[in-house]
Copies of this chain bind each other. A is one copy, B any other.
Amino acid sequence: MARGFTTSLLFFLAVSIALPSFCPGCQGEGGLAWSSEPGLNSPGWTVPVAPGGPFSRIYLPQNAPIGADTGFGASRWLQMNANAWHNAAISIPEKAPAWFRDGVFWRFAEARAWPLERRHPFGTKIYGETEAGAVQTQFLGNALGVTVVGGTVYAESDDMFAYALNARTGQLIWRTSPVGNHLMGNPLVDGEIVYLAAGGVGFNFANVVAYSRKGTAVRGMDVSYNGIYALNRKTGRLLWHTGSLGEAMPTPAIHGRMLYFATGSGSVHALDKMTGRPLWTVRLGGNDNMSSPAYSHGRLYLAMASPPRLFCLDAGTGRTLWTGTIPGAANTGMGDVSPAVGDGVVVMDTVTRPKTVHGQATLEPVVRGFDAGTGRPLWTVSTGRGPKPPAFKGGVPLIHGKTVYVGSPVTGRYDALDLHTGRRLWSWHRTSSSRSAPTYDDGRLYIAGGDSLYRLDPKTGRETGHIRIGGRMGIVSPTIVGGTAYLANSYDWIVAVPLSSFGPER
Contacts and interface: CB of A to CB of B under 8 A. Distances in A.
Interface of A: 1, 4-5, 7-9, 11-12, 15-16, 18-19, 21-25, 31-34, 36-37, 44-45, 47-51, 53-55, 109-115, 118, 120, 122-123, 125-131, 134-136, 138-140, 159-161, 175, 177, 180-181, 200-205, 207-209, 211-212, 215, 217, 219, 222-227, 243-245, 331-332, 357, 360, 362, 382-387, 390, 410-412, 429, 432, 491-492
B224 A139 contact: yes
28 contacts: A4-B383, A4-B411, A5-B384, A7-B411, A8-B384, A9-B357, A12-B387, A15-B130, A19-B128, A22-B128, A23-B127, A23-B131, A33-B125, A33-B126, A36-B122, A48-B112, A48-B114, A53-B112, A54-B177, A55-B111, A122-B225, A123-B243, A125-B243, A134-B222, A139-B181, A201-B223, A202-B203, A208-B211
Number of copies: 2
Contacts of A362: 8, 12
Contacts of A219: 205
Chain B CB within 10 A, most for which of A21, A177, A245: A21
A385 B12 CA distance: 9
Nearest to A54: B54
Given A128-B24, A215-B212, A222-B127, A11 B115 contact: no
Nearest to A45: B115
Contacts of A118: 37
Nearest to A4: B384
Contacts of A140: 48, 180
Contacts of A226: 126
